[in-house]
Amino acid sequence: MKHPQRIATATLLLLLATTFGCGSRDPFQYAPVSGVVTLDGDPLEGARVSLEPQAAESTLNAGFGSYATTDQKGRFTLTTLHGKSGAVPGPHTVRISTLVNRPGADGVDLVRAEEVPDRYFQAGALTFIVPPEGTNQANFTLTTEPPGEEEEE
């Protein structure tokens, strides 16, 4: 497997969302969140964008994560796994990936290769603060070049 950490993280996030989502009442408020993801200046189609709320030290559960897949223009609008629109207000860890794997006859089959550098999937590499009123400016400008490295002419 090329990206076992990503598969494990995605599985854990799904499990946590399902486990915490079994209650009949959702105590969290949500704010509408949308934006655009670009890679090297071009819209990134089919990228999975996930925002996980960062819990304060005094809180065990900061709320449910929100997810979206970008369209052909790189646009996305977040929802939770429970169908709520938006995201919980406050700070979030952001992860972006294009990797798609599906179970196959002999293990896991690669459906789409990763186009996004690993640093955009690592915890803490990208963060975003969702304002209480929401935003349509949750834009993520990604680059394949590591920060601080520029092409020489």
How many Cα atoms sit within 13 Å of 109 on the Cβ side? 6
Query: How many CB atoms within 10 Å of residue 127?
Result: 12
Q: Where are the domains of the chain?
A: 4-21+28-141
Mean of the pLDDT values across residues 52-70? 80
pLDDT band at 15; cut points 50, 70, 90: low
What is the structure's pLDDT at 60?
62
In CATH, which superfamily holds the domain spanning 4-21+28-141? Immunoglobulins (2.60.40.10)
Average the pLDDT over 32-39 and give the result: 97
* DSSP alpha helix (H) spans, the chain: 4-20
What's residue 153's pLDDT?
Answer: 45
Kindly state the average pLDDT of the residues 6-25: 55
| 31, 131 contact by CB (below 8 A) | yes
Q: What is the pLDDT of residues 103-130, one digit of tens each?
A: 766 766 667 778 999 888 876 789 999 9
Question: What is d(CA 57, CA 145) in angstroms, rounded to the nearest whole number?
Answer: 35
Q: pLDDT of 19-33, one tens digit each?
A: 554 444 667 899 999
